[in-house]
Amino acid sequence: MPPSKPLPCSDEFATPEAYVAELLAFTSTSDTWQILCGAVHVVDFFITEPGLFYATLPAEWHAFLLSQDVMALLDFFVRDDPDTATFADGQTPPASLVAYIKTIRRLALRREVTPAAAAGDEALPPLTRTVSVGMSPKKVHEVKRFADYVTRLSSDVCGGGADGEEVTRLSSDVCGGGADGEEVTHFVDFGSGQNYLGRALASEPYNRRVVAVEGRQRNVDAAKSYDTQSGLARKPTVRRNKKVWNEILAVAGPHKSDPAALAAAVRQVAGDDGDNFRKIGSDELSYTAEAPLQYVSGRLDNGDLSEVIAQIDGGEEEKRRLKLMAMSIHSCGNLSHYGIRSLVLNPEIHAVAIVGCCYNLVTEKLGPPTHKHGHHLRPTLQAVNGRVVHESARHDPQGFPMSARLSTYGGHGVRANITARMMACQAPQNWTASDSALFFTRHFYRAVLQKIFLDRGAVHEVLFDPGADPGADPATLGPLQKSTSPLAIGTLPKRSYHGGLPAYVRAAVTKLTTSSEYKKHAQVMRDTMADMSDEDVEAYLARFEPRKKELCIVWSLMAYSATLVEALMVTDRWLWLTEQDEVRQAWVETVFDFGQSPRNLVVVGVKKDGTETEGK
């Protein structure tokens, strides 16, 4: 089951350690990479002159990049061979740009599907129409692939498949011999959402038991509805028994309107079966059929699953023999860390298989650096998301980085702020011309709007220099040392982008003036923006539209460079597993087709068996 290499790095690296060493060395020393991965954001793109394009990129790149079509450059960044790519007018890219592109390409983790998955979805057991209800094509792809993957992994971990077949030598190696020979009894799904994966695993041909852990009740309710539609659960049936009901009412007596007294009467009359009854209205009882899936509602704060495990259905003997595997498709933020940590925090968890996403929601463990270092704390980030200062100062032990290797690297550890982590969620390899046109326009409008806000006093300039006097003259500070006060607008209706920049500005100002969520900005907006005409907005458009390409190029380079931010985060999770005494084996591999699901790397950890642990 394990791949030939525990990390899907380039074959140029002889060992995972060689790869990790070079990845850490480059990301900690390259000024250009550090600027593009966390030190700039498009919101502040035009607030300084001559602009962030010139401040962020090496001077020898400027003329070449501005002379080329943006989509041709994107091909150069992510698809073409950097050494043989051809360009308009026969131009040649600067050698330092070619070297930068090749370094990112070399250090990015390989995202091609593994040989086991290369056969395609058609080779996997199909999802029935009732099981796939509510799934998008992307979700169908993910669920089919991952249900097959974790089932095969669980068979290896257990020392035997569901049908009792003898293990192969490979699976025996993975699980330490499968000493007890028992199957994984349950899959525990972290952040199960509407439980598409659990529903597939509980159905033919897998027929596995799943504990779905989900913090949003509306998702649990929707999942149960889908369970009913798929036939995995029956609708609650109402069984009226007037004789029993009258006896219950008699036992409750004058306290029959008290829910606690009525519940006690139900238990007294119905005996052991009383727990299966619940009050509906005032005159009937309902009996709910047991479903093959179990839901545990609640938010997790760490990887300790003791409260979840205590709620798993079963008698004492069954609970004593629990053998669990934690899994997740695209668990958001720290939930991926909780799933990985559950392997060592819970004796019942024997393996984990976690595909992470939403890196921007991960908290930070190390907090702001205490030394003058790079460009990672530029306050541009405050304008993007107001939680950045709070989160970076939390020193959250559940946050990034997990591993001791990254936490102590260079004596100060590796940090990735929220902008870097947000960019790591991009997939520039999948961008089409139409997709790019839409989000380039969206980012351009937002950058021009911030310049308008600054000029009219709706926001103010913020100065930043870790080593400068707080009272320093703003004129002496460079573009990367200036930002604007926080103002996150959030999502606007799609129609706001279809009427040009004036329509966009009107929509943004209306939201900031009328939405209860933005009360603190309302009066400022009325004072500074009420008298701005469409002609005024058009003047800004005429001024900055010729420079839109600058923003498109930098955004593309930011997204491309941030593939190494994802590499750092995934590698960190793998390193943490390798550092734990309880873990026998850990690896990372691809499980989804990148074109359909770009967050396609699963982090796997397998625990040592009891004999190996005792021998340490």
**Is pLDDT of 86 > 60?**
yes
Q: What is the pLDDT of residue 469?
A: 59
Q: Regarding predicted confidence, which is higher, 544 or 163?
A: 544
d(C-alpha 486, C-alpha 165), whole Å: 60
Q: Which residue shows structure tokens 């509407």? A: 194
Q: Which residue shows structure tokens 């790019």? A: 436
Q: Regarding predicted confidence, which is higher, 357 or 278?
A: 357
Range of 169-173, 181-185, 202-206 with top mean pLDDT: 202-206
Q: What is the pLDDT of residues 29-65, one digit of tens each?
A: 999 999 999 888 889 899 988 989 999 999 999 999 9
Q: What is the pLDDT of residue 27?
A: 96
**Is pLDDT of 88 > 90?**
no
Question: How far is C-alpha 44 from the chain's CA centre?
Answer: 25
Q: What is the pLDDT of residue 155?
A: 87
Q: What is the pLDDT of residues 268-291, one digit of tens each?
A: 877 655 544 544 333 333 333 345
Q: What distance separates the 2 farthest-apart alpha carbons in the chain?
A: 95
- What the block records as the tokens of 96 is 């330092």
d(C-alpha 595, C-alpha 285), whole Å: 51
Q: What is the pLDDT of residue 377?
A: 43
- Sorted by sequence, the CB contacts under 8 Å of residue 186 that are 6+ apart come out as 208, 209, 210, 211, 312, 322, 323, 324, 325
- What the block records as the tokens of 32 is 């250009």
- What the block records as the tokens of 519 is 């009360």
d(C-alpha 593, C-alpha 145), whole Å: 9
Neighbours of 544 (CB within 10 A): 21
Confidence bin at 135 (pLDDT 50/70/90): very high
Q: What is the pLDDT of residue 610?
A: 67
* DSSP-assigned letter for residue 461: E
Amino acid at position 538, single letter = E
**Is pLDDT of 102 > 90?**
yes
Question: What three-state secondary structure class fits 355?
Answer: strand
**Is pLDDT of 334 > 70?**
yes
Q: Regarding predicted confidence, which is higher, 281 or 312?
A: 312
d(C-alpha 75, C-alpha 289), whole Å: 56
Half-sphere exposure of 527 (CA within 13 A, CB side): 8
Q: What is the pLDDT of residue 470?
A: 58
* DSSP-assigned letter for residue 351: E
Confidence bin at 215 (pLDDT 50/70/90): confident
Q: What is the pLDDT of residue 234?
A: 59
Question: How far is C-alpha 297 from the chain's CA centre?
Answer: 20
Q: What is the pLDDT of residue 114?
A: 67
For residues 365 and 337, the answer to whether their CB atoms sit within 8 Å is no
What residue segments make up the domains of the chain, in order of their start? Answer: 237-279
- What the block records as the tokens of 545 is 């539209």
Q: What is the pLDDT of residue 367?
A: 77
DSSP 500-556: HHHHHHHHHHHHHHH-GGGHHHHHHHHHHHTT--HHHHHHHHHHHGGGHHHHHHHHH
For residues 376 and 413, the answer to whether their CB atoms sit within 8 Å is no
Confidence bin at 159 (pLDDT 50/70/90): low
Q: What is the pLDDT of residues 480-510, one digit of tens each?
A: 777 788 788 988 998 898 889 999 999 999 9
Cα 417 to Cα 365, 457, 538, distances in angstroms = 11, 28, 35
Confidence bin at 414 (pLDDT 50/70/90): very high
**Mean pLDDT on 110-134:** 81
